[in-house]
Structure 1
């Protein structure tokens, strides 16, 4: 059984909750109003990312309670697989929605005219439904495995959550974790990297974009990629190590802490992406909402 360092884990969870929850609520309120007035595909994708983060933060206190109780699960056991399912599902939701946002931005600068003519909110809604369904189907294993006991002999321990798996459970879980790493992390990372690298390459060559605006857009792209790699990379590497060694690595819990930080880092992305969000934080400070006719104005730095 893994033992999450008491002070480290509890501190990270508390800081994430206290900083992430109010900022995500503010982002939810701001983008909801903006979508109600004039829905844009990228706003719909960001709103779903916010909802995913809020769902993650709502269930985070279960992890806090577990750490505070020295990794002993002393509440109703059905909440263990349920909280684990939501916890991990929302982590991978983030990888997909961040990737979808990168695709939207790339298409806006690579094919500005064609993309502006074909942009429809319904496409973003359809993509969001697909992402939620895809993540739920893949992460349902988190809810199922704790109850899987084919031998019918010694049931899994009910005072430890999502640890202490039997050999039969590990035979299913370890390959699935590897598949999660490849399909829900490596593929989105490749797409996100391709989109943002080309986004930066194209944007740096555009003469009609102001230097300050261009640098902000490039910085946002690089920052998103950095968050993607640092927050989700180590945890997914632990899947590969676990598959090879047939057991979870001892540092897996610390890698998971980095994934937790994503919930409070996403609002920073919202801040630099959405003028509406900046205006809300700035108490009405005016920001320009267009680039005066330039086709990539809504995707270079989205308004």
Structure 2
């Protein structure tokens, strides 16, 4: 059965995600790329990889727009069908891994500030990033394998008028696909989500007990942690729940494509999380807005949001190395 995604709804979500997410992620890529070149830290490497994952997702998003516009009929060269699906699903799960790694990094920074600062090395974050990409690549290769199971050869480029991309599955294909989807849900979503929940809950608990940290910065960090966890659950939860339901019903749920829309939104929500949690990202946004203000005479009187700077004037933090390390872990600027 073809899963119909309401054209107006799906196209609106895809266009909104692309219009908001692409320029925001380009700015994030520039910001974190610059920081990594200047002085790489583990959190910067993880954020850069998360941004690359989002950009890769957004680059291939127009293929999904085309598919929805044509009533889920694939009219582009067939080779792009499995490739676009592979990239689409790959970047969803690499995002869960990088969000989880970022949560671990933040938690260790506030729970064990001195020990963690002595042991943290950019090479560890780089190795973890390579592992996440390879691990996800291997798991999502199922997108290339499933169409080859019990199926005729791929259609020629001139015979794509009625091709449905990665939608209709035979019983033979479902016997492999549905258990693999369940495994993806458990290994690539449930376990990372549980780890992230543990890290952020304890992150919030520790920050709530540290009264020596500036209240505004502490509340902003707590809000960032809660926001990230909510985005994680709402963006990736519905799609992965569809894997569980599909395994129980032994068929692809008809609402699976609509659940996938929630995951699509993550690509434009991540930069907003970066903005509220990174002074470097706020600095880049402020610079862009300042440049726009200077180039538009009519906006000379406009007020550009001021970048929140990390202050080192807190005397108690200067005297206490542990407090300083915790503050840096909270704001990772």
How far apart, CA to CA, are the structure 2 residues paired with 1:261 and 1:286?
Answer: 27
Task: Confirm whether residue 84 of structure 1 aligns to residue 85 of structure 2.
Answer: yes
Distance 2:59 2:311 in 1: 33
Q: Is the 8 A contact 1:85 1:142 kept in 2?
A: yes
- 1:253 correspondence with 2:280: no
Matched, 1:212 2:234: no
Rg (Cα) greater in structure: 2
2:310 aligns to what?
Answer: 288
1:302 matched to 2:332: yes
Partner of 1:198: 202
Query: How far off its partner does 1:249 sit?
Result: 1.2
Per-residue deviation, 1:298: 2.1
The question of 1:163 aligning with 2:164 is answered no
**Are the equivalent residues in 1 in contact too, given 2:29–2:48 (CA < 8 A)?**
yes
Normalising by structure 2, we get a TM-score of 0.87
Supply the distance in 1 between the matched residues of 2:249 and 2:170 (Cα, whole angstroms).
15
Q: 1:178 to 1:257 in 2, by over 3 A?
A: same
TM-score, normalised relative to structure 1? 0.96
What are the superposed Cα offsets for residues 139-197 of structure 1, whole Å, 9 maximum, x if unpaired? 010121112227x6999x96000011111111100000000000000000000000000
Unaligned runs of 5+ in 2: 291-306
SS at match of 1:282: helix
Between the aligned partners of 2:136 and 2:222, the Cα distance in structure 1 is 29
Determine if contact 2:282/2:308 at 8 Å carries over to the other structure.
no
Match of 2:302 in 1: none
Partner Cα separation in structure 2 for residue 224 and residue 167 of structure 1:
38
Instruction: Provide the rounded CA distance (Å) in 2 between the counterparts of 1:166 and 1:249.
Output: 15
When structure 1 is superposed on structure 2, of 278-287 and 247-256 the one drifting more is: 278-287
Q: CA RMSD in A?
A: 1.7
Q: Is the 8 A contact 1:89 1:136 kept in 2?
A: yes
Q: Distance in 2 between matches of 1:187 and 1:289?
A: 37
User: In the superposition, relative to structure 1, how do residues 80 and 205 fare at CA in structure 2: closer, same or farther (>3 Å)?
Assistant: same
**Does the 8 A contact of 1:275 with 1:289 survive in 2?**
no
- Report the Cα offset of residue 267 of structure 1: 0.2
* Contact in 2 for aligned 1:181/1:236 (Cα 8 Å): yes
Distance in structure 2 (CA, Å) of the matches to 1:199 and 1:241: 32
Structure 2 partner of 1:186: 190
Residues 188-209 of structure 1: per-residue CA shift (max 9 Å, x gap): 0000000000000011111220
Q: What is aligned with 2:125?
A: 124
Deviations 1:25-62 (A, max 9, x none): 00000111111111111010000000000000000000
Residue 279 (structure 1) aligned with residue 283 (structure 2): yes
Structure 1 gap ranges (5+): none
